[in-house]
Amino acid sequence: MMALGAAHVMMMASDDDDADSSQPESTLRGGYRRRSVFGRRPVQRRQAGGSGGQGGITATNVLLALNAIVYLFQMRYPAITKAGWKMAPAITQQGQWYRLLTPIVLHGSFTHLAVNSMSFSSVGPVVERVMGKAKFVTVYTLAGIAGNVLSCIVNPRTPSVGASGAIFGMVGAWGAFCLMNETVLGRNNSQRALRNVAQTVMINVVYGMGSSQIDNMGHLGGFLGGAAMTFLIGPRFKRRLNPYTGQPYIVDESFKLGWPRLGESPPAP
């Protein structure tokens, strides 16, 4: 999020499920050098419960397109920005609760939109892949709202807009996923990914402290919201043995809050 400036989410490296994997360096066009965060697919054996964002129209691309379309409307009708930005008095005193949601799709400049879009293009697909579209959109949205809530509490009279709170929610979601699924990802891979998540957060917090235009509280709230929601409804992959063939398979045992149990049942011989 930004307090009407430009917010940058500098993504650090993430590790995949291959113990011997090495990620080439890449630049996310924001001027910052970093390793490719969310590299190859951390879990490629999701079998049921909907696609994890593979093939067809992904939720990540839909959200990217939505942000771009909204920004075109902002350019044509500038009053949209003020009507939807986060401002605590308008929320608490005038009952404009929609302002906890609308800032997620609003941006203060083309640069702001571009940097957030490139950051989201890095983290979004891999989180969507392991969570599935429904949970991914749920976590993204609630993380963005959580970021706006914390921003309202700490900076109540500072207007802010931007998807970066929700994007930080995806970073938190990835960290929570790696922590929850250490047995499937491998201890070393999981710990490396968690270190990379910590580095991403620390670098962005320090960077944000140097700019009055960056809403660190929105980022922190989004990160915590994304992590919390993932712990609540995120996939919990477990290794199982097919009793008929003795071959290992992976099942998602998550079923919190009425979400259906996902995964693959062992086939009969």
Looking up tokens 């390793």 gives 35
**From 151, 164, 190, 254, the catalytic residue:** 164
DSSP state, residue 50: S
Q: Are 100 and 91 in contact (CB under 8 A)?
A: yes
**From 14, 122, 219, 254, the catalytic residue:** 219
Looking up tokens 């350019």 gives 75
Q: How far apart are CA 126 and CA 27, in angstroms?
A: 18
Q: Is 112 a catalytic residue?
A: no
The three-class DSSP label of residue 168 is helix
Among candidate residues 16, 101, 93, 99, the one with its CA nearest the CA of residue 66: 101
Reading the block at residue 107, the tokens are 């941006």
Helix then strand then coil, % of the chain, to nearest 5: 55, 10, 40
Give backbone dihedrals phi and psi of 34, rounded to 5 degrees, phi first: -160, 165
Cα dihedral sign, 259-41-118-197: positive
Q: Is 164 a catalytic residue?
A: yes
Q: Are 15 and 198 in contact (CB under 8 A)?
A: no
DSSP state, residue 213: T
Measured CA distances, 68 to 6, 50, 74, 156, 163 (Å): 16, 26, 10, 27, 11
Residues labelled catalytic: 164, 219
